[in-house]
Amino acid sequence: MSRLDDALREAFRSQDPGPDFTARVLTAAAGARPKENWWGAPGLRWAMAAALACVLLVGGSIEYRREQEERQGRLAKQQLVLALHIAGTKLNLARDRVQQLNAGD
């Protein structure tokens, strides 16, 4: 332990604030609004959880319905393309048949 250490300890000894410090702090604390720990309130926490669950449920069902509709749309499109393809083939066959009949005349 050096003399500089001793001198520093002496220089940095704790000091008391003014005599009315405690009273001032307690008065200020009494007037201060307590921290609103709203997330810590148990009732509100459950309500928030329920609201979040509702939002997730509604959002999920909307998304599910949207996906269903999209799938049905894709299926209908595929069926339409197939029907057009069949119709086209049949028309081609009919046209060939008519041309053959005309050529025989």
Partner 1 sequence: MAAATNAVMGHEALPDFASLVRAHQAMVFSIALHYVHDRSAAEELAQDVFLQLHQSLADMQSAEHAARWLRKVAVHRSIDHARRSRFRPQVGLEDAPEPVTPAAPGDPMLSERLRRLVASLPEKPRAVMVLRYQEDLDPEEIAATLGMPVRTVKSHLQRSLVMLREKAGRAFTPAAGRPDLSREMGEVE
List interacting residues with partner 1 (CB under 8 A): 2-18, 21-22, 24-26, 28-29, 32, 34-35, 37
* Residue 5 CB, nearest approach to partner 1 (Å): 6
Residue 28 tokens, joined: 């200020």
- 45: Cβ–Cβ under 8 A, 6 or more apart, which residues? 39
* Residue 23 CB, nearest approach to partner 1 (Å): 10
**CB closer to partner 1, 17 vs 43:** 17
* Residue 8 CB, nearest approach to partner 1 (Å): 4
**CB closer to partner 1, 21 vs 46:** 21
* Residue 60 CB, nearest approach to partner 1 (Å): 36
- Encoded amino acid at 7, one letter: A
Cα–Cα distance for residue pair 73/65, rounded to 1 Å: 12
- 52: Cβ–Cβ under 8 A, 6 or more apart, which residues? none
**CB closer to partner 1, 36 vs 105:** 36
Q: Decide: 71 and 64 in contact? Cβ < 8 Å.
A: no
